Structure 1
Amino acid sequence: MRTARYWQATGITMLGLMLLSLAASLPARAAFPDRALRIVVGFAPGGSTDIIARLVADGLSTRLGQPVVVENRGGAGGVLAAQLVAQQPADGYTLMLHTDGLNQAAAVGTAMVFDPVDAFAPVGLAAKSSLVLVVHPSIPAQNLNEFLAYARKSPHPLRFGSPGSGLSGQLFAQGLGIPIEEVRYRGTSAVLNDLLAARIDAYTIAFPGILSYVQAGALRALAIASAERSRVMPDLPTGPEQGFPEVIATGWFGIVVKAGTPPEVIAKLHRALNETLDDAVVRRRIGEIGLDIAPSAKPEDFGQLIRDDRVVWERVATRGNLRQ
């Protein structure tokens, strides 16, 4: 006579066999990635952001074994591209070339339907470039202290060009303690044209946009807003070196995905990104456009940089009463 224990054991065995059969009938979960990826860029083709994205895309494609397409979605200082990425599935197939510009836009109150920090998960930092204060050579200043003296003697606030939020100029102005007149433009080219023609006095911009003009003597660089000098222009002193400790802000470029992307997917992307940045050709190309290669040891390090950067620009916007 078969006991209750026998039937219990038989039932458990049959249940186990049924579960194994069911598992075998389900399709295996494909290893990431099993199809093409894309990197969304919030600016037009040809600029430093686009160049970095294409270098990273080529490197990721080689290392991940899938095509990686760069998609330019310019408009609203990168907000439109970020909105697109925030609306995608959190699966790691849509990446964004992220920059500090989104934090600046948020600091001045630009309308966004997503949180510019929490909507994304950091993958890794790619490059940095601190802001540089450049002036027309007719300005009688070779450094920040001489520029400060000139500003104090001027009968009117000095005119700073700005193609965006205006926060970068305010960073220097607040650090020096001088009022400025912000002159808004639709793009960087228009600012440079007026600065080269001496119709404005100064402009703050990252190295890629002005390196050739400074090297040719068409513009004069007075300081870099960084705690350390840049290898791009090692003779240019920093703001803190010249006695202005608050003149610090880092321009950065990195890769993010939608928040909620599986950690193992982020880890794989991070590893492929850092291997790409270690490539000699990639390092040379990024250096040629005036940027410093700056891979992050882990995604969380890049995430902390993004959050620290937000604090910097929110402080500048608040002090200058610049929130819209």
Structure 2
Amino acid sequence: MSPATFIDALQHELQLTQYGQYPTELYDPIRYIMSLGGKRLRPLLTLMAAHLFTDDWKKTVRPALAVEVFHNFTLMHDDIMDRAPLRRGQPTVHEKWNDNIAILSGDVMLVKAYELLLDADADKLKQAMARFTRTAAEVCEGQQMDMNFETRWDVTEAEYIDMIRLKTSVLLGYALELGGLLGGADKETTDLLYAAGVNIGIGFQLKDDLLDVYGDPAKFGKQVGGDIIANKKTFLLIEALEQATGSRKDELTGWLTQTSFDKAEKVRAVTTIYDQLGIRQITEARINDYFGRGFANFDQIQADPDRKEFLLQFTRQLAERES
């Protein structure tokens, strides 16, 4: 078994999945965003988690796709709120069509996610639906918190961690939990899978924050320093605002309040402040802490050692990524 086996199963089902035909303006954007690719990380984790406990993991492909369709629905709506022009190097749905179409097409994607979940075994469907519904609401809560943070300068580390837990990590947790549930694992095990996904998801987001400042532009795939230019409340900035004092605090605040500046100069200056405060090392310690918690959760799971190692290797590769 290799990741390609799971990817092929997902791609085959994606090609077979129908969203609707008319009006075309409603359904073409769904086909468009789903065709833009992406890592398909969440449904892959669902299939691998199911494979820990059953040979019949293919029956979980459509429920796994529910997680992917929901994820892309959130991206479609997030892009509107962020006024993002590009998604995976291509025009976003609201740019290619318009805001109203993107909103309505996203709504249909949420409905489609529930439809795909209906393929779960009948004896597990109620639990799968209940947990999905709670997770979907939490993702919205996290997005609202992120938007609230845009106008605040007193965001704490604890608040930020809670925001990324809700906005990004709980869906990773649910993806693993769903796979375990549909594969026949008991509640103690699905709880461990969920905790592993949440902890590793927080680690992923913190690493994204770090790579935005310290990543290799050739590997990172987007502009290094973009968060600094936009004054985005990342873990690094929140930590720097908490740690900085005196003239260093004044300099950092000065860069944050300037409305006209040279982008490259600002990135260099703020990165230098981060270096002086040891922010990179603090962030790396938090990343390692959350990854460590996630792998400790995995260690407690009782499953076939070879299948478990397969999932662990896949997750470790994701944790070590530089893009």
More strand by share: 1
TM-score, structure 1 length as denominator? 0.24
TM-score, structure 2 length as denominator? 0.24
**Larger relative contact order (C-alpha < 8 A, sep ≥ 6)?**
1
More helix by share: 2
